[in-house]
C-alpha cells in the first residue's frame, strides 16, 4: 500500500540528526515536527520568524498568535526564539539551515525542483522556497510519486518553472525513498507492500535499481 501523509512525514523524520537546524515547508513537511526521534535534539525553523518550533498544539496549548509559515498554530520548544522575517531569511541565506524539507509539483533526475507555480493558475507568490533550496545544506522533497491522473512527478526534466537547480538530494514519496545523484534517481526503499515494478512504472526519469530493495521501516 502507498503511504499516507503521516507515514511520509514519519519516514522523513528518520533523516533528522542530533543538532540539526531544520526548515519544514508547508503541507506534509510540517507534520515531521510530530515525529522527531527520541534521544536527539533538533531546532525546527519556520521562515516567518520562529526557531524552535514544537509539535502541533493540543486544545489546551492552542495560541492563535503562535503560527508557522503555513498559518497553522504551533507550539514553541524549550529554548525557542521569535524574531522578524528579515532575520529568519538571513539565517536561510547565510547557509545556517542544515536541512530543508518541502513539497514539490515535480522533481527531475538532475535534482531540479519545481514547486512554486503552475502556469495559468492563481498563485499567491513564491514564498521562501527559492531561498530555502539555495541556502540549505540538504534538501529532501516529500510528494506523491504520481499525480491523481497517474502521471509521474519524477521526470527526466521538469516541465514547470523551476524553484531550484541541482539541489534535491533525497525524495520520500508515497511509494519509495529515492536518492538523486549522477543524473538519476536511485531507489533506496519501497513502501510496505509496494513492488519495485510499480515504482518503475510510475517513474518517468532515469531510475537505478540495485539488488533487493528493502521495505521502509518506521522504528
Q: What is the DSSP letter of 26?
A: S
Q: Are 95 and 137 in contact (CB under 8 A)?
A: yes
Round to the nearest angstrom and report the end-to-end CA distance of the chain.
Answer: 18
pLDDT of the chain, 219 residues: tens digit per residue: 799 999 999 999 999 999 999 998 888 998 898 899 999 999 999 888 999 988 789 999 999 999 888 788 989 988 999 999 899 999 999 999 999 999 999 999 999 999 987 776 766 666 678 888 888 889 999 999 999 999 999 999 999 999 999 999 999 999 999 999 999 999 999 999 999 999 999 999 999 999 999 999 887
pLDDT in tens, 82-107: 999 899 999 999 999 999 999 999 99
Residue 111: its pLDDT value, please? 97
Give the C-alpha separation, 106 to 48, whole Å.
Answer: 25
Annotated catalytic residue, options 6, 41, 47, 61: 47
Would you call 47 a catalytic residue per the annotation? yes
Closest CA to 134 of 115, 119, 152: 115
Which pTM value belongs to this model? 0.91
Amino acid at each position: 500500500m502507498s503511504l499516507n501523509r503521516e507515514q511520509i512525514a514519519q519516514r522523513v523524520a528518520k533523516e533528522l540528526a542530533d543538532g540539526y537546524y531544520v526548515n519544514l515547508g508547508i503541507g506534509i513537511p510540517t507534520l515531521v515536527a510530530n515525529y522527531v526521534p527520541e534521544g536527539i535534539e533538533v531546532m525546527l525553523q519556520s521562515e516567518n520568524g520562529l526557531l524552535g518550533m514544537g509539535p502541533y498544539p493540543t486544545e489546551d496549548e492552542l495560541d492563535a498568535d503562535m503560527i508557522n509559515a503555513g498559518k497553522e498554530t504551533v507550539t514553541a520548544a524549550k529554548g525557542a526564539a521569535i524574531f522578524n522575517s528579515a532575520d529568519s531569511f538571513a539565517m536561510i541565506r547565510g547557509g545556517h539551515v542544515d536541512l530543508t524539507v518541502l513539497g514539490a509539483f515535480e522533481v527531475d533526475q538532475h535534482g531540479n525542483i519545481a514547486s512554486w507555480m503552475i502556469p495559468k493558475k492563481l498563485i499567491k507568490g513564491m514564498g521562501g522556497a527559492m531561498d530555502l533550496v539555495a541556502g540549505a545544506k540538504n534538501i529532501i522533497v516529500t510528494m506523491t510519486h504520481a499525480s491523481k491522473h497517474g502521471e509521474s512527478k519524477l521526470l527526466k526534466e521538469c516541465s514547470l518553472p523551476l524553484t531550484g537547480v541541482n539541489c534535491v538530494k533525497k525524495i520520500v514519496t508515497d511509494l519509495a525513498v529515492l536518492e538523486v545523484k549522477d543524473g538519476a534517481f536511485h531507489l533506496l526503499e519501497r513502501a510496505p507492500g509496494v513492488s519495485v515494478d510499480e515504482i518503475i512504472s510510475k517513474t518517468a526519469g532515469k531510475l537505478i535499481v540495485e539488488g533487493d530493495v528493502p521495505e521502509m521501516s518506521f522504528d
